[in-house]
Amino acid sequence: MVLRIQCLCIDTTDPARLAAFWQSALGWRQTFADDDEVVLEPPAGSPQDGVAPDLVFLAVPESKAGKNRLHLDLRPEDQSAEVARLEELGARRVDVGQDASVSWVVMADPDGNEFCVLRPLTEAELAEDAVKAG
């Protein structure tokens, strides 16, 4: 069987506002929008185009309640710079019970959806990934 994830759907009371945050955060393109739905896809022709799942922001009447059951992990080249940039876009750091020894930063988007900003990969990890992709 061939099966792949086409999109990740994110409920929100304001699809345009939340999609704008993630569009700026990821540098993705908006490929569809109406009052009830906004779709983001990776940049056309990028390595993620057609591979990474689309993000679909869907209008719902209720606000988020409780901790996410699914979240995104983002891998930047510079963790502290990326955390600062995301804060400027409207994200905030949150505590979901992690202790100070973790290597990631837990954040929330403007709707309160948690996501993690991971540490950069080491040179050895990058080399290992290149061999696996090879």
**CA 24, 28, 30, 32 torsion: positive or negative?**
negative
Among residues 50, 9, 12, the alpha carbon closest in space to that of 29 is found at 50
pLDDT of amino acid 16: 98
- 62-100, pLDDT tens digit by residue? 999 988 989 999 999 999 999 999 999 999 999 998 998
Model pLDDT, residue 133: 73
pLDDT band at 119 (very low <50, low <70, confident <90, very high): very high
Domains and CATH numbers, the chain: 7-61 (3.30.720.120), 72-134 (3.10.180.10)
What are 47-70's pLDDT values in tens digits?
Answer: 999 999 999 999 999 999 988 989
